[in-house]
């Protein structure tokens, strides 16, 4: 199921609540929510560096990401 959006490209300023739009990226928002939840639970500290695991770095390839993560870096 796609997202519903208010825009109609054919008519500037016109809003259409029934128009379906693709989902926007929610990864950063979800990552932030999980991080703050972990801080509240005492399982993480915002002042501590996050070290990139080899598994996480394996996803940092052009097909998935362009952020340049390298295993062992923070």
**Spatial separation of the C-alpha atoms in residues 33 and 23, rounded to whole Å:** 18
pLDDT in tens, 4-57: 555 556 666 566 667 666 666 787 888 899 999 999 999 999 999 888 888 888
Backbone angles phi, psi at 22, to 5 degrees: -70, 155
Are 70 and 58 in contact by the 8 Å Cβ rule? The answer is no
Q: Where are the domains of the chain?
A: 3-43, 47-74
Q: What is the pTM of this model?
A: 0.49
List beta partners, residue 15: 7
* DSSP letter string, 33-70: HHHHHHHHTTS--TTSPPPPPHHHHHT-STTT--S---
């Amino acid at each position: 199921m796609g997202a519903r959006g208010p825009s109609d490209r054919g008519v500037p300023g016109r809003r259409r609540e029934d128009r379906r739009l693709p989902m926007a990226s929610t990864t950063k928002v979800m990552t932030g929510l999980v991080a703050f939840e972990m801080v509240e639970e005492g399982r993480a500290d915002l002042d501590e560096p996050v070290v990139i695991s080899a598994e996480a770095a394996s996803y940092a390839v052009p097909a998935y990401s362009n952020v340049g993560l390298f295993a062992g870096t923070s």
